[in-house]
Amino acid sequence: MTLSCHDLLSVADLTDGDISALLETAASFKDISLRQIKKVPTLRGRTIVNLFLEPSTRTRTSFEIAGKRLSADVVNISGAGSALAKGECLKDTAKTIEAMNVDAVVLRHWSSGAAYKLAQYVEPPVINAGDGAHEHPTQALLDLLTMKDSLGDIAGAKVTIVGDISHSRVARSLIELLNRLKAIVTVVAPPMFLTPGIARLGCRISYSLDDELEGSDVLYLLRVQKERQSANMFPGFAEYTRMYGLTKERWARVSLRCKIMHPGPLNRGVEIDPDVADSLGSLINTQVTNGVAVRMAVLYLLIGGGAEHE
Ligand code: CP
């Protein structure tokens, strides 16, 4: 089994069959991470380059672990430690990596569309690990797996996404996938955090978190991206927490079956109370665990070519 696409740049690259295959394969890979010897020979002899030109903990580490658990050779390149810091352009870096006969390139980049550019420069598959405010397909896939495991069925689930939608590549990928799986999606944010036309992705818009607490199956909180706020537009963190933070008081009003999700990194005390983040309803660490399995599935289905993985 392989994916229908050559690169994974956007969730739009995936057919419904691809999404099912990825979720099923990821579920089957979870077990490998629980074994004492966490390795299978599936991608032995393959080389994967992680080109991370923007900071990352979860995505970079989980792609590296995913590749290694499948026995691939994984090479990490960061902006600061590479010739990019000396002024080399992305195209020349890409061509240099390609000339070493690698089998896949995973790219994290600050600029929307950078993964598309890279895919034009190189022949091996490119996986978008987050490009600017555009897309983060593997995050959306791991979020789907986490919701599916917790809720059973995504169709009809009420998912409320709260926060800085305008800067969120996670939100864009997730809303599209949730729509395709027939979840009911509401985005909650102050107007300055909403992208014009976001409703066209297939979600309801609300300006009040208090109005949306009851009835949500998942409260999906987004990080307030401090580094991207314009000082004269953003009213301040205390005001944001008062209006849109998942405080203890708000969490007490939510149904016991409701789950909390967050892609990380968290601003504890801003979009989420620290105790609420660590409460039993939180799936935040489960998302991270599932990230390894999903990235194993992406690598396997893109470059494994149907090799046995037991
Ligand atoms: N969710 C996510 O992309 O986290 P990192 O920036 O740590 O990879």
Beta carbon of 137 within 6 Å of any ligand 1 atom? no
Beta carbon of 139 within 6 Å of any ligand 1 atom? yes
Judgement on whether residues 96 and 224 belong to the same structural domain of the protein:
no
Judgement on whether residues 121 and 235 belong to the same structural domain of the protein:
no
pLDDT at 310 over 90: no
Share of the chain above pLDDT 90, in %: 90
1 found inside a domain = no
> DSSP class of residue 272?
B
Judgement on whether residues 101 and 173 belong to the same structural domain of the protein:
no
Distance between Cα 263 and ligand 1 center (Å):
7
Give the dihedral sign, CA 307/39/99/294. Answer: positive
Judgement on whether residues 118 and 152 belong to the same structural domain of the protein:
no
Please report the pLDDT score of residue 229 as a whole number: 65
Tell me the pLDDT band of 213, cut-offs 50, 70 and 90.
very high
Beta carbon of 130 within 6 Å of any ligand 1 atom? yes
Q: Which residue puts its alpha carbon closest to atom 1 of ligand 1? A: 263
**Would you state the structure tokens that stand for residue 250, as one six-digit string?**
């708000």
- Nearest-atom index, ligand 1, CA of 54: 6
Structural domain span for residue 30: 11-136+288-303
Q: Which residue puts its alpha carbon closest to atom 5 of ligand 1? A: 56
From 51, 78, 139, give the residue whose CB has the most ligand 1 atoms within 8 Å, as the site to mutate: 139
Please report the pLDDT score of residue 308 as a whole number: 62
Instruction: Give mean pLDDT, residues 30-36.
Output: 97
From 54, 58, 107, give the residue whose CB has the most ligand 1 atoms within 8 Å, as the site to mutate: 58
Judgement on whether residues 160 and 26 belong to the same structural domain of the protein:
no
41 found inside a domain = yes
2 found inside a domain = no
Please report the pLDDT score of residue 303 as a whole number: 96
Distance between Cα 129 and ligand 1 center (Å):
9
Tell me the pLDDT band of 233, cut-offs 50, 70 and 90.
low
Q: Give the CATH number of the domain where residue 173 resides.
A: 3.40.50.1370
246 found inside a domain = yes
Judgement on whether residues 249 and 145 belong to the same structural domain of the protein:
yes
185 found inside a domain = yes
235 found inside a domain = yes
Judgement on whether residues 156 and 88 belong to the same structural domain of the protein:
no
Instruction: Give mean pLDDT, residues 9-15.
Output: 98
Judgement on whether residues 143 and 257 belong to the same structural domain of the protein:
yes
Instruction: Give mean pLDDT, residues 161-165.
Output: 96
Count: domains in the chain:
2
Of 107, 45, 99, residue with least CA distance to 76: 107
> CA–CA separation, 259 vs 154, rounded Å?
13
Distance between Cα 54 and ligand 1 center (Å):
10
308 found inside a domain = no
Q: Could you tell me how many helices (H) and strands (E) the chain has, helices first?
A: 11, 9
The amino acid present at 25, given as its one-letter code, is T
- Nearest-atom index, ligand 1, CA of 57: 7
Count of CB atoms situated within 10 Å of the CB of 51: 25
Judgement on whether residues 27 and 159 belong to the same structural domain of the protein:
no
Contact in structure between 273 and 245 (CB atoms under 8 Å): yes
6 found inside a domain = no
- Nearest-atom index, ligand 1, CA of 108: 8
* Whole-structure pTM value: 0.96
Residue located via tokens 């939100």: 171
Please report the pLDDT score of residue 48 as a whole number: 98
pLDDT one-digit tens code per residue, 86-105: 999 999 999 999 999 999 99
